[in-house]
Amino acid sequence: MTLPSAVDVAVVGAGAAGVGTAAALSRLDLECVVLDREEVGATFRKWPAEMRFITPSFPSNSFGLTDLNAVTPRTSPAYTLERQQPSGEEYADYLEAVVDFHDLSVVTGVDVTGVTPLEETPDEDIEEVGAGHAVDGGTALDASVRDGFVLETSAGSVYARFVVWAGGQFSTPRGDLFDGTDLCVHSSSVRSWADHAAASSTREFLIVGGYESGIDAAVALVDAGCSVTVLDRGLPWARRDPDPSETLAPYTLERLARVEGSDRLDLVGGVDVERVRRTDDGCFEVRTRAVSDGETRTFTVPTQPVLATGFEPTLGPVAEYFPFEDGHVSLTDVDESPTTPGLFLSGPAVTHNGVQFCFIYKFRTRFAVVAKAVGERLGVDLGPLEEYREQGMFLEDLSCCEPDMCGC
Ligand SMILES: Cc1cc2nc3c(=O)[nH]c(=O)nc-3n(C[C@H](O)[C@H](O)[C@H](O)COP(=O)(O)OP(=O)(O)OC[C@H]3O[C@@H](n4cnc5c(N)ncnc54)[C@H](O)[C@@H]3O)c2cc1C
């Protein structure tokens, strides 16, 4: 598909959030395009080969319990893939199937490098972008049009009345955490833990971070015959919390229990990594400080320490339009930028009342909310979105997001 010159809505990112939001928008009578610099589900295709979804899939849609990993009410990864715990590759295949099933317009290989609200665009540029573009039922865009956005992309400019940013997190791993971060390897750059182990002359590894990615890597490396030390500031493997975003998933705890009995896994909690440095004999020295009493301790490993320290939201050219508050992107009740009306956020960076919508089953409940906000402003029939409500995928009442109420 070629890049359209003007649309009602441009969705940036063809991952779970972008495809899911576009599918909700496609129920309404408006023109929408999804742009991705790589391919549909690109991030999932980069997951380590051993990694599986921690949230299970089950084709329970017909009883109003939509498959936890589905991004639309009528699809189910469990049904499409015949998998309960899909791999990244498999899930990307599911997303491609969703694009086909809902006949979504997706243009891949298009890097969005700039998003400018029209009110900030000089008149001469608007005329240039607008030349020959049909907007608002055939009216050529000119300097009198003062809402919407111009997206600069690697394939040219696109005008969109609304933009949904769904750039994910995977391409911006959290870095620069301590001296020597650059000597480490981030878990997101490893495509297979078995290959990573095989490429090393020794079988001794150290992982910084003991949450989902860290334990996932540790289990895969132990399974590959390696010895692994996991360091963490807290004790995530012992923490219990009713919110799955705050505690290890049952699937992870099961796998951890399987390898914990072996003498090849050492979980060290309550330590802050302060510094990593290279020793004269080419090893890596990791110095930690105990959170409780400040005592320092040194771990020396022959292999590059693995960082499983998480991600930042990939906001790219829209970063300036999404202010941060208490470490989270600040959003209106309909996931719109509070400073730039018409620009929405979809995906794991969505946070309300301190609750992160970081799993697919959480952030998908906001696809219809964004679609409704856009549809209302364009004056189209919103009836087709009711199916999202029937299938538990339409969360408008954010009072359920009080942290203390998520225990049920
Ligand atoms: C390692 C890991 C494991 C996870 N496991 C689970 C799990 O088991 N269950 C679960 O529910 N959630 C899980 N998550 C949570 C995560 O939120 C989702 O898996 C999912 O990746 C988020 O979807 P997304 O569409 O927001 O981002 P992505 O899938 O990363 O999609 C973002 C897309 O945007 C594109 N893009 C970015 N910037 C631009 C640009 N400037 N121009 C054009 N395109 C751009 C990228 O190419 C990419 O295709 C996991 C996350 C990680 C990192």
C-alpha to C-alpha distance for 360 and 380, rounded to whole angstroms: 27
The boundaries of the domain holding residue 289 are 181-307
What is the per-residue pLDDT for 139? 37
At 237, which CATH number? 3.50.50.60
Q: Determine if ligand 1 sits within 6 Å of the CB of residue 319.
A: no
pLDDT digits (tens, 9 = 90+) for 355-393: 889 999 999 999 999 999 999 999 999 999 999 999 999
pLDDT digits (tens, 9 = 90+) for 265-323: 999 999 999 999 999 999 999 999 999 999 999 999 999 999 999 999 999 999 999 99
| Same domain as 17, residue 145 | yes
What is the per-residue pLDDT for 128? 55
Predicted TM-score (pTM) of the model is 0.93
Amino acid at 106: V
**Centroid of ligand 1 to alpha carbon of 149 (angstroms):** 24
**Centroid of ligand 1 to alpha carbon of 55 (angstroms):** 15
pLDDT band at 246; cut points 50, 70, 90: confident
Q: Determine if ligand 1 sits within 6 Å of the CB of residue 42.
A: yes
Counted residue by residue, the chain has a size of 408
**Centroid of ligand 1 to alpha carbon of 171 (angstroms):** 8
What is the per-residue pLDDT for 259? 95
- For residue 175, being part of any structural domain is answered with no
pLDDT band at 401; cut points 50, 70, 90: low
C-alpha to C-alpha distance for 3 and 1, rounded to whole angstroms: 7
The three-state DSSP-derived secondary structure of 277-327 is EECCCCCEEEEEEECCCCCEEEEEECCCCEECCCECCCCHHHHHHCCEECC
Best mutation site among 359, 361, 365 for ligand 1 pocket (most ligand atoms within 8 Å of CB)? 359
C-alpha to C-alpha distance for 222 and 215, rounded to whole angstroms: 10
Nearest-CA residue for atom 24 of ligand 1: 168
Nearest-CA residue for atom 30 of ligand 1: 168
What is the per-residue pLDDT for 406? 45
Residue at which a domain ends, from 275, 307, 339: 307
Cα 295 to Cα 207, 266, 273, 276, distances in angstroms: 20, 19, 12, 17
Structure tokens at 215: 């334990």
pLDDT band at 136; cut points 50, 70, 90: very low
What is the per-residue pLDDT for 341? 96
pLDDT digits (tens, 9 = 90+) for 216-240: 999 999 999 999 999 999 999 998 8
| Same domain as 143, residue 53 | yes
**Centroid of ligand 1 to alpha carbon of 43 (angstroms):** 6
Task: Kindly report the number of other CB atoms within 10 A of residue 295's CB atom.
Answer: 10
Distance of CA 158 to the CA centre of its chain: 24
- For residue 14, being part of any structural domain is answered with yes
- For residue 197, being part of any structural domain is answered with yes
Phi and psi based region of residue 361 (left: phi greater than 0; alpha: psi -120 to 50; beta: remaining): alpha
Do the Cβ atoms of 213 and 220 come closer than 8 Å?
no
- For residue 36, being part of any structural domain is answered with yes
**Centroid of ligand 1 to alpha carbon of 16 (angstroms):** 7
- For residue 176, being part of any structural domain is answered with no
Task: Kindly report the number of other CB atoms within 10 A of residue 280's CB atom.
Answer: 5
Do the Cβ atoms of 301 and 206 come closer than 8 Å?
yes
Enumerate residues 6+ apart whose C-beta is below 8 A from 341: none
pLDDT at 131 over 80: no
Residue at which a domain ends, from 259, 290, 307: 307
- For residue 12, being part of any structural domain is answered with yes
Best mutation site among 314, 351, 362 for ligand 1 pocket (most ligand atoms within 8 Å of CB)? 314
**Centroid of ligand 1 to alpha carbon of 123 (angstroms):** 36
Name the domain count of the chain.
2
Do the Cβ atoms of 174 and 312 come closer than 8 Å?
yes
Kindly provide the b/e burial profile for residues 260-271, where b requires at least 16 CB atoms within 10 angstroms of the residue's own CB.
Answer: eeeebbebbbeb
Nearest-CA residue for atom 8 of ligand 1: 53
Average pLDDT, the chain: 92
